Amino acid sequence: MQTFELAYINPKDLVLELIENDITNGRLIYGLSTLRIDAEAYHLSLSKIIFRYFGYSEQTVPDEISDMYFELIRRACLGTWEEIESPDRALAIGIFEELSSAIRITATP
Protein backbone atom coordinates (compact mmCIF):
# COMPACT_ATOMS: atom_id res chain seq x y z
CA MET A 1 0.00 0.00 0.00
CA GLN A 2 1.32 3.39 -1.00
CA THR A 3 1.41 6.16 1.59
CA PHE A 4 1.30 9.87 0.95
CA GLU A 5 2.61 12.74 2.97
CA LEU A 6 0.35 15.72 3.24
CA ALA A 7 2.05 19.01 2.56
CA TYR A 8 1.04 22.18 4.36
CA ILE A 9 -0.41 24.85 2.12
CA ASN A 10 -0.52 28.41 3.36
CA PRO A 11 -4.23 29.40 3.28
CA LYS A 12 -3.49 32.73 1.59
CA ASP A 13 -1.52 30.95 -1.16
CA LEU A 14 -4.40 28.55 -1.62
CA VAL A 15 -6.87 31.43 -1.99
CA LEU A 16 -4.58 33.15 -4.51
CA GLU A 17 -4.46 29.91 -6.50
CA LEU A 18 -8.25 29.69 -6.39
CA ILE A 19 -8.58 33.28 -7.63
CA GLU A 20 -6.17 32.49 -10.48
CA ASN A 21 -8.26 29.46 -11.37
CA ASP A 22 -11.44 31.56 -11.21
CA ILE A 23 -9.86 33.97 -13.71
CA THR A 24 -8.88 31.10 -16.02
CA ASN A 25 -12.32 29.50 -15.77
CA GLY A 26 -14.00 32.85 -16.32
CA ARG A 27 -11.94 33.49 -19.46
CA LEU A 28 -13.08 30.17 -20.85
CA ILE A 29 -16.73 30.89 -20.09
CA TYR A 30 -16.59 34.45 -21.44
CA GLY A 31 -14.72 33.23 -24.52
CA LEU A 32 -17.33 30.60 -25.23
CA SER A 33 -20.07 33.18 -24.79
CA THR A 34 -18.51 35.27 -27.58
CA LEU A 35 -19.05 32.20 -29.76
CA ARG A 36 -22.67 32.17 -28.56
CA ILE A 37 -22.11 29.05 -26.50
CA ASP A 38 -23.80 29.17 -23.10
CA ALA A 39 -21.27 27.78 -20.64
CA GLU A 40 -22.58 29.39 -17.43
CA ALA A 41 -23.22 25.94 -15.97
CA TYR A 42 -19.45 25.37 -15.97
CA HIS A 43 -18.60 28.01 -13.36
CA LEU A 44 -16.61 26.27 -10.65
CA SER A 45 -18.09 28.27 -7.73
CA LEU A 46 -14.61 28.84 -6.32
CA SER A 47 -15.87 32.05 -4.74
CA LYS A 48 -17.61 29.98 -2.03
CA ILE A 49 -14.24 28.74 -0.79
CA ILE A 50 -12.62 32.16 -1.21
CA PHE A 51 -15.35 33.82 0.87
CA ARG A 52 -14.96 31.13 3.55
CA TYR A 53 -11.31 32.16 3.88
CA PHE A 54 -12.55 35.64 4.78
CA GLY A 55 -15.00 34.24 7.34
CA TYR A 56 -18.22 34.25 5.34
CA SER A 57 -20.57 31.44 4.44
CA GLU A 58 -22.44 31.54 1.16
CA GLN A 59 -25.45 32.96 3.02
CA THR A 60 -23.60 35.62 5.03
CA VAL A 61 -21.31 37.25 2.47
CA PRO A 62 -22.51 40.85 2.00
CA ASP A 63 -23.87 41.62 -1.46
CA GLU A 64 -21.42 44.49 -1.93
CA ILE A 65 -18.48 42.14 -1.28
CA SER A 66 -19.69 39.39 -3.62
CA ASP A 67 -20.67 41.94 -6.29
CA MET A 68 -17.23 43.55 -6.05
CA TYR A 69 -15.45 40.18 -6.31
CA PHE A 70 -17.44 39.11 -9.37
CA GLU A 71 -16.85 42.48 -11.04
CA LEU A 72 -13.09 42.21 -10.43
CA ILE A 73 -13.05 38.69 -11.88
CA ARG A 74 -15.13 39.85 -14.86
CA ARG A 75 -12.72 42.74 -15.51
CA ALA A 76 -9.72 40.40 -15.27
CA CYS A 77 -11.36 37.97 -17.70
CA LEU A 78 -12.36 40.59 -20.22
CA GLY A 79 -9.05 42.43 -20.21
CA THR A 80 -10.26 45.63 -18.58
CA TRP A 81 -8.03 45.30 -15.53
CA GLU A 82 -5.37 48.00 -15.12
CA GLU A 83 -2.54 45.44 -15.05
CA ILE A 84 -3.84 43.18 -17.81
CA GLU A 85 -0.32 42.68 -19.14
CA SER A 86 0.53 41.01 -15.82
CA PRO A 87 0.34 37.27 -15.38
CA ASP A 88 -2.73 35.83 -13.67
CA ARG A 89 -0.87 35.64 -10.34
CA ALA A 90 -0.47 39.43 -10.31
CA LEU A 91 -4.16 39.81 -11.16
CA ALA A 92 -5.05 37.37 -8.36
CA ILE A 93 -2.94 39.33 -5.87
CA GLY A 94 -4.64 42.57 -6.92
CA ILE A 95 -8.09 41.03 -6.52
CA PHE A 96 -7.12 39.50 -3.16
CA GLU A 97 -5.85 42.87 -1.88
CA GLU A 98 -8.96 44.74 -3.05
CA LEU A 99 -11.20 42.11 -1.52
CA SER A 100 -9.25 42.15 1.76
CA SER A 101 -9.44 45.94 1.92
CA ALA A 102 -13.18 46.01 1.18
CA ILE A 103 -13.85 43.38 3.84
CA ARG A 104 -11.87 45.34 6.44
CA ILE A 105 -13.85 48.47 5.60
CA THR A 106 -17.17 46.60 5.71
CA ALA A 107 -16.31 44.97 9.05
CA THR A 108 -15.37 48.28 10.67
CA PRO A 109 -18.26 49.81 12.65
Q: Measuring CA to CA, how many Å separate 35 from each of 3, 39, 41, 71?
A: 46, 10, 16, 21
Task: Round to whole Å and give the CA distance between 70 and 25.
Answer: 13
| Range 87-99 average pLDDT | 90
pLDDT tens per residue across span 53-74: 999 988 899 999 999 999 999 9
Q: How much is the pLDDT for 109?
A: 44
Q: How much is the pLDDT for 26?
A: 92
Residue type, 73: I
Residues 16 and 96: beta-carbon distance below 8 Å: yes
**In the predicted model, is pLDDT for residue 20 greater than 90?**
yes
Q: How much is the pLDDT for 98?
A: 94
pLDDT tens per residue across span 22-44: 999 999 999 899 999 999 899 89
Task: Round to whole Å and give the CA distance between 23 and 71.
Answer: 11
Does the model's pTM come out above 0.95? no
**In the predicted model, is pLDDT for residue 8 greater than 50?**
yes
Q: Phi-psi bin for 39: left (phi > 0), alpha (psi -120 to 50), beta?
A: alpha
